[in-house]
């Protein structure tokens, strides 16, 4: 038996409860993992509260990521005792995820824990930090470099945003952090932000072309914010778009693309091929100091996940929430 947060549907409402579950109910897979830590991501919060159509089948164990120890394996790549990380691949959406003490998954969904970080630190990074690294790598593959000018991060106090600020600053970029929580400016400066942008200056409908302010951007917010970011990029600039915290819509014009050669780089973390995944995780382990990883995270027990999910959607959480599934 193991403990899990289980989501069920009752009268069209999502109900979350901690349940003791028999291992035989775990889905098929090559590798059985004893989970040490999971996290709360924006998508998990939508799933747990039922506020977004994340879960495809019920009952569901939510949790799009976890880190832990291999307990059993029928796959040559893994043996008992190996430390592993999992994120994406539909965990917590189409098959049982990480907010539990055990998970059984296909070996291809796992990667080895990167050298130099613990399972707890890996979950302080979680899907958010890994997505932030994918965004930075997308910008750099496009040709963005530290000397080019200011780089904007929207949703800077969130999980992806906090890591994007830290990673860009560590790589020598001058980072402008856009936030709706100016009272957290000191925290963002500690992470490496050079200056703060009030998110209200980006969140209302704006002109198709605006003053050229940013060489590049990481956008976690979507909607009018992404449209304004595109309109404010310098000639040849690029934005890595990964989120929809303001909205799924994109009320923009083509002007920045056809008149300034701006590039809109979409970033998905869920189905990224294994090699790019490993490269992103290794870059995090190499580039993000452990003190920064620790500074970005707080830890809660599994039973607190539903309350914290609601707080996350109310925008009350700073940085990352690690879930200690054994606490
Ligand atoms: P968080 O909830 O931790 O952060 C979101 C941040 O967005 C908030 O902290 C807030 O930042 C800002 N925000 C919230 N509401 C609004 C609003 N109405 N208007 C403008 N800004 C707002 O989420 P994550 O960092 O985990 O995820 C960020 C986004 O990225 C989410 O939309 C998530 O779904 C997406 N995502 C996508 C992935 C992918 O594979 N493409 C992977 C991971 C996440 P502040 O307080 O600083 O203003």
Same domain, yes or no: 131 and 63 = no
| Tally of domains within the chain | 2
Output the pLDDT for position 208: 98
Q: Is the CB of 228 under 6 A from ligand 1?
A: no
Under DSSP, the state recorded for 176 is E
Please, which residues have CB within 8 angstroms of residue 246's CB and are 6 or more apart in sequence? Answer: 203, 221, 222, 223, 224, 225
Same domain, yes or no: 45 and 100 = yes
Q: Is the CB of 43 under 6 A from ligand 1?
A: yes
Please identify, among 221, 243, 266, the residue that sits at the C-terminal boundary of a domain. Answer: 266
Classify strands 151-153 and 110-112 as parallel, antiparallel or unpaired: unpaired
Is residue 256 within 8 A of residue 208, CB to CB? The reply is yes
CATH number at residue 135: 3.40.50.720
Same domain, yes or no: 99 and 161 = no
User: How many angstroms is it from 73 CA to the middle of ligand 1?
Assistant: 35
Output the pLDDT for position 184: 93
Output the pLDDT for position 30: 95
The rounded distance, in Å, linking the Cα atoms of 13 and 7 is 10
**Among candidates 206, 196, 197, 255, which has minimal Cα distance to 226?**
206
Same domain, yes or no: 28 and 70 = yes
Output the pLDDT for position 160: 94
Mean pLDDT, the chain cut into blocks of 10 residues (327 residues total): 96 94 95 98 95 94 98 98 97 97 97 94 94 98 97 95 95 97 94 97 98 98 98 98 96 98 97 94 91 88 97 89 96
The answer to whether residue 280 is domain-embedded is no
Element (H, E) at 79: none
> Which residue lies with its CA nearest to atom 14 of ligand 1?
245
Which atom number of ligand 1 is nearest to the Cα of residue 46? 34
Helix axes 119-142, 274-287, angle to 10 degrees: 110
Same domain, yes or no: 43 and 145 = no
The answer to whether residue 207 is domain-embedded is yes
Please identify, among 266, 285, 310, the residue that sits at the C-terminal boundary of a domain. Answer: 266
> Which residue lies with its CA nearest to atom 12 of ligand 1?
155
Q: Is the CB of 41 under 6 A from ligand 1?
A: yes
Is residue 240 within 8 A of residue 154, CB to CB? The reply is no
Whether the pTM exceeds 0.85: the reply is yes
Same domain, yes or no: 135 and 246 = yes
Structural domain span for residue 161: 127-266
């Amino acid at each position: 038996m193991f403990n899990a947060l289980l989501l069920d549907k009752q009268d069209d409402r999502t109900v979350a409860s901690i349940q003791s579950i028999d291992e035989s109910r775990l889905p098929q897979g090559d590798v059985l993992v004893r989970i040490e830590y999971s996290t709360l991501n924006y998508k998990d919060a939508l799933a747990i509260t039922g506020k977004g159509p994340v879960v495809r089948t019920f009952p569901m164990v939510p949790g799009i990521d976890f880190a832990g120890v291999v307990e059993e394996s029928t796959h040559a790549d893994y043996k008992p005792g190996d430390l592993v990380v999992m994120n994406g691949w539909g965990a917590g959406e189409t098959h049982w995820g990480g907010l539990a003490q055990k998970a059984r998954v296909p070996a291809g969904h796992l990667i080895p824990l990167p050298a130099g970080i613990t399972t707890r630190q890996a979950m302080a990074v979680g899907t958010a930090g890994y997505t932030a690294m994918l965004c930075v790598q997308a910008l750099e593959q496009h040709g963005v470099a530290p000397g080019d000018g200011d780089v904007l991060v929207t949703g800077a106090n969130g999980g992806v945003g906090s890591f994007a600020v830290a990673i860009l600053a560590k790589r020598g970029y001058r980072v402008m952090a856009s936030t709706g929580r100016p009272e957290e400016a000191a925290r963002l400066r500690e992470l490496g932000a050079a200056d703060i942008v009030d998110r209200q200056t980006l969140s209302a409908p704006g002109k198709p072309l605006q003053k050229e302010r940013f060489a590049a951007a990481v956008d976690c917010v979507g909607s009018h914010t992404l449209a304004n970011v595109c309109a404010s990029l310098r000639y040849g600039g690029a934005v890595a778009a990964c989120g929809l915290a303001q909205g799924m819509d994109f009320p923009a014009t083509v002007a920045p693309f056809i008149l300034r050669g701006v590039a809109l780089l979409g970033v998905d973390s869920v189905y990224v091929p294994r090699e790019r995944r490993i490269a992103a995780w290794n870059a995090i382990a190499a580039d993000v100091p452990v003190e920064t990883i620790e500074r970005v995270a707080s830890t809660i027990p599994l039973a607190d996940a539903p309350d914290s999910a609601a707080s996350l959607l109310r925008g009350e959480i700073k940085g990352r929430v690690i879930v200690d599934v054994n606490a």
